[in-house]
Amino acid sequence: MRIGVVTFPGSLDDRDAGRAIRLAGGEPVALWHGDHDLQGVEGIVLPGGFSYGDYLRAGAIAARSPIMTEVVDAANRGLPVLGICNGFQMLTEAHLLPGGLIRNEKGSFVCRDQTLRVESSSTQWTSAFTEGEEIVIPLKNGEGGFIADTETVARLEGEGRVAFRYLGYNPNGSVRDIAGIANERGNVVGLMPHPEHAVEPGFGPDTRAAMRSGVDGLRIFRSALEGVLAA
Amino acid sequence: MPTIVVDVMPKAELLDPQGKAVAGALARLGSSRFSGVRIGKRFELTVDGAVDDAVLDEVRGIAASLLSNSVIEDVVGIRVQEEAAR
């Protein structure tokens, strides 16, 4: 199952995302922001980083890259698209997801292992979870405060499109502790925390069982892979 | 060459952590009369040629679609600044 990972100028976690796809059982395909070619992939990850140095607004310039024309088309056709951190910011800037992300409430960059509650298992990137399940994956951002107008937030909540919620601690002042959301169809998901950093024992967050053994991020990638196989 | 100035501000109802940090610094430095600071962006677009309605329309479009994100910001001003005025 081939999943594309787009590299933009300033992407940092594109290789980690590719590695996560491989560990989840898929085949990562490197895609380039300046191309108009998705190379026939069956899913797309927009990785984290600081594309264009966060100039203008985080993700704003990358969201208008050549390849984003194809990404938007593919998303509208129902292809699974995941935006992680800077990728989430791009998805809002490309209007594939509602709302926006602003500087953290306390003004500082936050890096921590973050507990999340999986609020919906009906998206293409969360189908391998049980609703209400608690997971721990790393979070690292300076502009992760999710905001949207009251009407949009009510619609996201009402339609079950809040995919992940911060649990115990809201690191960036996101409205209603929202960590990740989905589009109406459930194929496009964006989240600020980094599932690709919790995919391999020895390199993930600490768990009660052992240090750095957390691999909760793996199932996000498995969800899409299993969904594509089942389709 | 004329310059078109576009001003963009974070939406009034949103917290502006940058402005808040500067306001805190002002208070520490003894400037206590300022109750708030908000920080926005100013874009200067240099125009190759004369500014007519078509150019201004294009700038309004650019300001709404690229220079600002209406979810988090407002375009608060678009004006032409002639060279002599600078």
- Per domain, the residue ranges of chain A are 2-230
- Please state whether beta strands A2-7 and A27-32 pair in parallel, antiparallel, or not at all (unpaired): parallel
Residue B85: is its pLDDT beyond 90?
no
Which site among A52, A54, A57 would you substitute to test the B interface, given the most B Cβ atoms closer than 10 Å to its Cβ? A57
CA B18 to CA A140: how far, in whole Å?
19
What is the tens place of the pLDDT at every residue in A189-230?
999 999 999 999 999 999 999 999 999 999 999 999 998 777
What type of residue sits at position A117? R
CA A9 to CA A215: how far, in whole Å?
28
The pLDDT, as a whole number, for residue A107 is 81
CA A166 to CA A147: how far, in whole Å?
14
Angle at A172 between CA A170 and CA A176, to 5 degrees: 55
Q: CA nearest B61: which of B14, B21, B4?
A: B4
Please tell us whether the domain made up of A2-230 is placed in CATH 3.55.40.20. no
Residue B86: is its pLDDT beyond 90?
no
Backbone angles phi, psi at A37, to 5 degrees: -140, 120
Structure tokens at A34: 């300046």
Instruction: Label residue A231 by pLDDT band (50, 70, 90).
Output: low
> Domain B3-85 belongs to what architecture?
2-Layer Sandwich (3.30)
Where are the domains positioned within chain B? 3-85
Which site among A97, A101, A103 would you substitute to test the B interface, given the most B Cβ atoms closer than 10 Å to its Cβ? A103
- Residues in chain A within 8 Å Cβ distance of B15: 102, 105, 173
Task: State whether A147 and B67 contact (CB < 8 Å).
Answer: no
What is the tens place of the pLDDT at every residue in A4-60?
999 999 999 999 999 999 999 999 999 999 999 999 999 999 999 999 999 999 999
- Please state whether beta strands A162-166 and A27-32 pair in parallel, antiparallel, or not at all (unpaired): unpaired
What is the tens place of the pLDDT at every residue in A46-98?
999 999 999 999 999 999 999 999 999 999 999 999 999 999 999 999 999 99
Q: Are the C-beta atoms of residues A124 and A187 closer than 8 Å to each other? A: yes
Taken in order A145, A147, A153, A159, the sign of the CA dihedral is negative
Task: State whether B72 and A102 contact (CB < 8 Å).
Answer: yes
